[in-house]
Amino acid sequence: MIARSIFIAGKVQGVWFRDWTIQAANAIGVSGWVRNRADSSVEVYAVGEADQVERLIDRLREGSPASRVDSIDVQEAELHPVDGFVRRSTA
């Protein structure tokens, strides 16, 4: 199991990006959370097997149909037990 903090910039708020991320994570089998950030980016905390997390990162690079992903920053993160994949409040 690995954990990654992922920061996505571009047109990613107000375009169904968080709900799309939840659906993608659940389909892949990744746990964690997604939230908007005050700087108009989106943050994702993903926990799962390495190949599952990498698949989610690949999907995040593509983005939801209405979004435009300009950049993505992936960082190793401390592993915290998480059950399911949820939306969190804006940071």
Catalytic, 36? Answer yes
How far apart are alpha carbons 17 and 49 in whole angstroms? 23
Considering the candidates 4, 36, 55, 59, report the single residue annotated as catalytic: 36
Considering the candidates 18, 37, 61, 87, report the single residue annotated as catalytic: 18
Enumerate the H helices of the chain as residue ranges: 17-28, 50-62
Half-sphere CA count of 19, side-chain side, radius 13 A: 5
User: Which residues are known to be catalytic?
Assistant: 18, 36
